[in-house]
Chains A and B, each alone.
Chain A
Amino acid sequence: SQQGEEDPQALSIQEGENATMNCSYKTSINNLQWYRQNSGRGLVHLILIRSNEREKHSGRLRVTLDTSKKSSSLLITASRAADTASYFCAHTETTGRRALTFGSGTRLQVQP
């Protein structure tokens, strides 16, 4: 399996603090995406970064991509209790499987 790895597996912070989650992968990618999941059900797409991009912002989210290190990070600034969820990175490969391969996820708990 070419499943990505994420760290930390779990993260607990206070409201207002920043949360950083990291993701690594093993193959050459087309793009990398981050998703959020509440309550173990459907995932919600947060942001997509292409392999020729290094950084992308969306509201309180900042994503970086380092293709030389095969890694990405998701930063959530000024966290809120409502940000409590599991966060997954996922990538598509340049060869092989066209569907997204998901990482193992980071469980974020934001304490009010």
Chain B
Amino acid sequence: GAGVSQSPSNKVTEKGKDVELRCDPISGHTALYWYRQSLGQGLEFLIYFQGNSAPDKSGLPSDRFSAERTGGSVSTLTIQRTQQEDSAVYLCASSLVIPLQGAYGYTFGSGTRLTVV
């Protein structure tokens, strides 16, 4: 597609329920990233997928969080047993990665605003 697509754009869920957030990256971008942003704050890294390499999960805040990327394209971020502190905007981005030069600029989706009540 022309840009990074995220769905849903808004999600309100009850505490304790599971949620799935979807990201459809730019076709041909080998790298995909998930970040979250609390109100008025910077971006907190969650997870990074690059090609067929093992994902960097070092930013996931707890084992309630998991993500997968199927077929090197679409990614799903799953939060189990949601808590109120999980409320944030979840941002997905994708980029090209050039060997020996690293990643180019990221293209971000519009995010999913998650509210846990």
Contact = CB atoms under 8 A, between A and B. Distances in A.
Contacts of B104: 48
Interface stretch (B37-45, B68-76, B77-85): B37-45
B66 interface: no
Interface of B: 4, 33, 35, 37, 39, 41-43, 45, 48, 50, 56, 58-59, 89, 91, 93, 102-111
A14 interface: no
Interface of B is mostly: strand
Contact of A45 (B43, B45, B102, B105): B105
Contacts of A30: 102
Interface residues of A, number: 24
A101 B106 contact: no
B106 A100 contact: yes
Contacts of A99: 33, 45, 48, 56, 59
Given A98-B48, A98-B50, A100-B33, A42 B108 contact: yes
Nearest to A42: B108
Given A99-B33, A99-B45, A43 B106 contact: yes
